[in-house]
Homo-oligomer: A and B are copies of this chain.
């Protein structure tokens, strides 16, 4: 019997096209940022931030420049990322509902292949014995169930201020106290330990940091890296710097364990940056995060809401410095990872993604004819370079930003290749495209609810 590592080495040494056939069961580390502006990474062009570890990860692998979250808001985005199903199908159309027990996550799908599975950070998909991370295939959970926590006390404070706020830090189903420790650093520490504990197993480490989601707070050591940046952006930059350090710590551990060649590392975000006042410092629409050149923000069906960075890195397998412009989606992660692990995703339900590695390894075209979104009364579709948004909202932090565009712009057609900011409505110039996409979108919206 040959070892897992030898099998993998053979696969890597062989033709890349044969990779998918190799029963290599590589490790997978999936980092996720929270409310990160798509271009708020050095590797995506940011010059005032410092993300050396993520930049190196991107330089050593592939950047997807047309990658999308399946929703512009936390919980549905995560539900789709983990299940490979559109949010509505997965039962999480918006923040609020848990991920029902019948949904199958990547972790659950990997278990039969012998994977150790761990989640280190934010779950946001339920806190009962039927819906928590342990119920959804994670052997180990260190993190919190809610949408965000105070970074030091790990308390959830965003309910009605008259009701109790509560402490929300758990190791599996046991509440634990790491009072005063910065959450981002805790999650990195625990993820690194998980790698050490499972160096001999195939593992899936899902590391959804809470950063740079509000509350806007970072240790001074990170703040001091950005002395010239204005305070709101400085805080955001510092929170991302802590995240980047955390990524670095995990990647260093991978290297120390000599698992680098055997591990697919992914980095993405759940949705775009937000303009919510509570993500700022001044009681005005937050300006910390930057979705430019995209239009819209977290919650928006314009690209600012869910056009996210995606890095895939796998030394020896994924070429260095590659850029993929084909459309990809968080929906693709389940089939991508399942294929690598040699397991079959659930066949008793509709999955909405497809293996993304051929886009990298075979220069394949996206297998998505179109991808769709439904969020907060908005509908959207992207097909090729066309993007159509119905009843789009920008969520720019003003009261008007919470309202749907009206008149002609209630249906907004863009060519996002030429106009990534979705600034020019082409619906009257290309009525047939608008009509066709609209029909597809309405059909999808109807079908996905069933």
Chain A residues proximal to chain B, CB less than 8 Å:
150-153, 155, 157-167, 177, 179-182, 214-217, 219-220, 276-283
Contact = CB atoms under 8 A, between A and B. Distances in A.
A-B residue pairs, 5 tightest by C-beta = A180-B180, A152-B152, A152-B153, A157-B157, A158-B161
B179 A217 contact: yes
B217 A167 contact: yes
A16 B158 CA distance: 56
Nearest to A286: B164
B151 A215 contact: no
Residue in A157, A164, A177, A217 with the greatest tally of chain B CB atoms within 10 Å: A164
Residue in A150, A177, A281 with the greatest tally of chain B CB atoms within 10 Å: A150
Given A152-B152, A157-B157, A158-B161, 5 more contacts: A161-B278, A162-B277, A163-B283, A164-B282, A179-B182
- Grouping DSSP codes into helix (H, G, I), strand (E, B) and loop, the A interface class, with mixed when no group exceeds half, is loop
Contacts of A162: 276-278
B166 A281 contact: yes
Contacts of A151: 153
Contact of A164 (B150, B163, B278): B278
Contacts of A214: 164-165
**Tally of this chain's copies:** 2
A365 to B, nearest CB: 43
Nearest to A223: B177
B153 A278 contact: no
A153 B182 CA distance: 9
Residue in A182, A215, A219 with the greatest tally of chain B CB atoms within 10 Å: A215
Contacts of A280: 164
Contacts of A220: 177, 179
Given A152-B179, A157-B157, A180-B181, A164 B219 contact: no
A167 B278 CA distance: 12
Contact of A217 (B153, B161, B182, B282): B153
Contacts of A180: 152, 179-182
Given A179-B219, A179-B220, A281-B166, A157 B161 contact: yes
Contact of A215 (B155, B182, B216, B283): B155
Contacts of A165: 157, 214-215, 278
